[in-house]
Structure 1
Amino acid sequence: MSREIMSDEDQSKIGLASLRTALTPMVWGTTYIVATEFLPAGRPMLAAVVRALPVGLAFVLVGRTLPTGHWWWRSAVLGTLNIGAFFALLFVAAFRLPGGVAATAGALQPIVAAAIASVVLGEPFTRRVVVAGMLGVAGVAMLVLGPEAALDQVGVAAALAGTVSMAVGVVLTKKWGRPVDLVTFTGWQLTAGGLVLLPVLLIFEGLPAEITTRNAAGFAWLAIVGTGLAYSNWFRGIQLLPVSVVSFLTLLSPLVATLIGWIALDEALTIVQTAGAVLVLVAVVTSQRRRRSS
């Protein structure tokens, strides 16, 4: 494992970029309460399509630029990995596994992404990354796993596949760069991912008979804030930060979801969960620090 040395100035820049990028997984942490309190029950694919496709098309219209050359297939690949396949696998795992098991499997994503980045991008895969990854998985497990946790082979496979999908998507987004402005780039991916999910919605769920005002408010939050703004910020962070830094920020999502449940839904917060929250924060902070040059 190589050791990474950075100047104080570089460390400061990465710190500021990390704080800004961290807003995205924190916003993603609101998805659970919005889905359970505002959206139609039993309509996960509808939520996924509404999150991705309308705002993706809107971003493309605003940017007024379509992909050219190899960016047609690259946008399709990135949209599938980061949005389409990831959302679909996430919802399969959520239906077949207790939420804690799915979240714990997702906590493997940072260390998987860092390992892939070490091969594809040549980023250092340090002991610090390994330790932070282990702390992150342990912290999320303590935070969200309950005594009712049970394993389902299909659910576990979907959760792990979703983890790999997002990890590969992050690495390829970093590797291929961004040929256009951020809004257009995000729009390409959200549109591609939404188009992947649309036939799944039509085949397995169909369209709802009605959408209430409360449903519309939930969809608006997830689409505009939780997807459009959040993914734009996320893709900017991927360009600015090493994969081994940005990927660990996703650990903040289950932490925020748990805290919202405790504050807004009056859910109990045990000593074990509190210790897990501390471990998650330690994992995130550990992953952000780099060895300073003298």
Structure 2
Amino acid sequence: MLSIPVGAALCWIYLVWGSTYLSNRIALESMPPSLISGIRFLIAGSVLLLISALSGARLPKLGEWKVAAVPGVLMIAIGQGSMVYAGPMLPSGIIALLFAMLPIWTTLLQWAMPGGTRPSAGVLAGLLLGSAGMALLVGRGSGAGTHWQLEGLVAVVLGTLSWAVAALYMKRRAPQGSALQGAAMQMLTGGACQILVATLCGDWQTFSFGQITPRSGWAVTYLVIVASVITYPVYNWLVKAATPTLVATFAFVNPVVALYLGWLVLDEKMTALMVLSSVLIVCGVIAITFAQARANRGDRLALAEKAAGAGKLQGSGI
């Protein structure tokens, strides 16, 4: 079974990042998309770097900044940025659904990489269940599909692919400092890229901080403190502690959380089909979780048997 820290980290990410779709939607009421993400991550990254320095950690070296810049650009500037960018074009629930492609991208990329292994039957079954649930949810909005902008759809799909590449990169690279410091460097590089995009697009010319409504202000505050300062270090730790496919299951659960929050907070309609699709998605996550736990247990037993066999050989003088 999964360890308690891994399970707790997964649940936290499921709930918090599932709520960011609603928060971004509220923030968009009075702020441009690129500025929302840029300001969010620059503030959060600065806070994390300050906390890291006050805790006695040394300042990052140039080489560490270069390593952190890769997931910073792929995961934050492109991955997160694409979702906020698509916010004015697509319903928040549909953006969350499209992001549920992340586990599929992650599994396929792991399989395609040199030395990659074919996904187990349990993982494939979980991906199939999650994809079926996602398809039902997308089908729910088919009547309004003609109003969805292709530009937004393409942006989110590319964002999920970029996030999957970043997760695999982080898994294969040696750790660069603490999870706290790594998250800070990623946020600062990703946030800086988004501020640059906002500047090039002329967002500063039509924006003033005085136009931010209280609702948008509280939404951005939540995104900075809870969704970024607290949760990104948890995610960075989880990427190292669990398999990429298991970590990526948050993208299956996030749409469920986003839809239910829309129902509770924004009084959006909840149908029986939505409930059924949510159940399929959760069952898919459970299947992947148990398949990964079984595979990890098998790997540990194989290593233990190998070590025991080596010990016997040494004891016999061979």
TM-score, normalised via structure 2 length? 0.80
Choose the corresponding residue for 2:195, options 193, 198, 209. 198
Matches within 5 A, 1:111-190: 111-118=104-111, 119=113, 122=116, 125-143=119-137, 145-146=140-141, 147-150=143-146, 152-190=149-187
Q: Quick one: distance in 1 between partners of 2:258 and 2:267?
A: 13
Q: Quick one: distance in 1 between partners of 2:215 and 2:82?
A: 26
Deviation at 1:213, TM superposition (A): 4.0
Q: Quick one: distance in 2 between partners of 1:218 and 1:156?
A: 24
Which one is further off, 38-47 or 237-246?
A: 38-47
Q: Quick one: distance in 1 between partners of 2:2 and 2:80?
A: 33
1:231-275 per-residue CA deviation (whole Å, 9 max, x = no partner) reads 111111111000111111221111111111222233221111010
The match for 2:283 is 282
Instruction: State the AA in 1 paired with 2:223.
Output: L
The match for 2:72 is 79
Whether contact under 8 Å (1:140, 1:255) holds in the other structure is no
Q: Quick one: distance in 2 between partners of 1:72 and 1:20?
A: 26
Q: Quick one: distance in 2 between partners of 1:60 and 1:214?
A: 28
The match for 1:22 is 11
Identical-pair percentage: 25
Which one is further off, 72-81 or 91-100?
A: 91-100
Query: For residues 257 and 49 of structure 1, do their structure 2 counterparts lie closer, same or farther at Cα, with a shift above 3 Å needed?
Result: same
The match for 2:37 is 48
Q: Quick one: distance in 2 between partners of 1:283 and 1:185?
A: 31
Give the count of matched residue pairs: 283
Deviation at 1:98, TM superposition (A): 4.5
Whether contact under 8 Å (1:112, 1:164) holds in the other structure is yes
Deviation at 1:190, TM superposition (A): 0.5
SS of the equivalent of 2:177 reads: coil
TM-score, normalised via structure 1 length? 0.86
**Unaligned stretches of 5+ residues in structure 1:** 1-10
Deviation at 1:179, TM superposition (A): 2.4
Whether contact under 8 Å (1:132, 1:287) holds in the other structure is yes
Q: Quick one: distance in 2 between partners of 1:157 and 1:238?
A: 26
Give the helix-richer structure, 1 or 2: 2
SS of the equivalent of 1:94 reads: coil
Whether contact under 8 Å (2:93, 2:259) holds in the other structure is no
1:208 matched to 2:190 = no
